């Protein structure tokens, strides 16, 4: 919040809390932040609504504590808000689809106090009334009919989902990214992608293109293969002795089977040179590293 009469530094930094909905990745991308801002009846009252589900009113003329109070808390991020032209009513909408209407209760309303507000960039002041407090209405009952007058099914989506899980028709996958998948009793639902099966018959095998897509999905969410441990000699000195032992092992052609000797001859291996001793010396090599 800036006041141009006081320079280019903000006079207040108005903050809300953490979002009411959990975020899995980068908060800067998933958090919708402040979606509603509006001025009240006077230049010192400012209203904001954010993803923390709270609508706040601020006194921007206050020097130290600009927050006046929280006037509304909703169960989902605030996504919309607007005052009526006479500032007597405030409508707030949240991300769950609920709409909250707040208005002034004239019976409980005390006469608004008169205050004098200094106009910016001038030496004059203006007399005005402080904003009237807003009292929220009770939450209305859910509608029984739709926009066309047709009766609505009282069963909610949450109760339907619980019934599917209780009957074993759907199960929760252990990987939360996958979510809900078919259960052992899924056939009882009668909900099939018939076009994914041969002759549009769910009892027949899947089409080749659909089966290949499912195989790719299984590979994507399958657990990663564990890397085999790297075998290393416990005693570094044993490497030299093992090398010397290997040098003493000569290949005896006569000990090979006839089929193996025939395959070596067909591969044009010169068997006459096999078994000729070679004098190899064991040398320690220094590994080269790049800087």
- 273 pLDDT higher than 70: no
- What would the pLDDT profile of 63-103 be if each residue is shown by its tens digit? 778 888 888 998 889 999 999 888 888 999 998 888 998 88
Q: Output the pLDDT for position 81.
A: 92
Phi, psi of 205 (to 5 degrees): -60, 160
- 176 pLDDT higher than 90: no
Q: Output the pLDDT for position 56.
A: 92
Q: Output the pLDDT for position 153.
A: 74
SS3 80: strand
Helix (H) or strand (E) holding 158: helix 157-166
DSSP 222: S
Give the pairing type, strands 135-136 and 99-103: antiparallel
Phi, psi of 6 (to 5 degrees): -110, 10
Q: Output the pLDDT for position 107.
A: 45
Q: pTM value?
A: 0.38
DSSP 175: S
What CA–CA distance (Å, rounded) separates 29 from 41? Answer: 34
Q: Output the pLDDT for position 97.
A: 86
- What would the pLDDT profile of 109-156 be if each residue is shown by its tens digit? 455 566 677 777 777 777 776 666 677 778 778 778 877 888 877 777
CB 50 within 8 A of CB 77: yes
SS3 220: helix
Q: How many CB atoms lie within 10 A of CB 51?
A: 25
Strands (E), the chain: 36-39, 45-49, 54-59, 67-73, 78-83, 89-94, 99-103, 114-118, 125-129, 135-136, 170-172, 180-182
- What would the pLDDT profile of 219-251 be if each residue is shown by its tens digit? 776 666 555 555 555 565 677 777 777 777 767
Averaged over 264-281, what is the pLDDT? Answer: 66
Averaged over 34-42, what is the pLDDT? Answer: 87
Q: Output the pLDDT for position 291.
A: 47
Residue 195 tokens read as 């076009």
Q: How much of the chain exceeds pLDDT 90, in percent?
A: 9
What is the residue-averaged pLDDT of the chain? 78
């Amino acid at each position: 919040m800036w006041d141009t009469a006081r320079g280019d530094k903000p006079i207040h930094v108005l903050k809300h809390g953490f979002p009411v909905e959990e975020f899995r990745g980068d908060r800067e991308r998933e958090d919708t932040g402040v979606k509603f801002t509006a001025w009240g009846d006077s230049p010192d009252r400012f209203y904001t609504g954010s993803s923390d589900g709270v609508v706040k009113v601020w006194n921007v003329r206050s020097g130290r504590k600009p927050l006046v109070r929280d006037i509304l808390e909703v169960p989902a991020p605030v996504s919309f808000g607007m005052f009526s032209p006479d500032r007597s009513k405030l409508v707030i909408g949240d991300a769950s689809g609920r709409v909250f209407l707040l208005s002034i209760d004239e019976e409980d309303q005390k006469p608004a106090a008169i205050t004098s507000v200094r106009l910016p960039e001038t030496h004059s002041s203006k007399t005005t009334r402080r904003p009237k407090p807003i009292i929220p209405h009770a939450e209305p009952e859910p509608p029984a009919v739709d926009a066309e007058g047709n009766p609505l099914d009282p069963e909610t989506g949450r109760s339907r989902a619980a019934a599917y899980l209780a009957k074993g028709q759907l199960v929760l996958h252990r990987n939360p990214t996958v979510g809900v998948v078919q259960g052992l009793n899924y056939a009882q639902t009668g909900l099939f992608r018939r076009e994914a099966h041969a002759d549009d018959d769910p009892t027949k095998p899947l089409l080749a293109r659909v089966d290949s897509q499912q195989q790719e999905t299984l590979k994507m969410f399958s657990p990663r293969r564990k890397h085999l441990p790297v075998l290393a000699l416990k005693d570094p000195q044993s490497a030299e002795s093992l090398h010397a032992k290997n040098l003493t092992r000569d290949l005896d052609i006569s000990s090979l089977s006839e089929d193996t000797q025939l395959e070596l001859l067909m591969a044009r291996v010169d068997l006459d040179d096999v078994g000729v001793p070679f004098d190899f010396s064991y040398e320690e090599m220094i590994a080269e590293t790049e800087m």
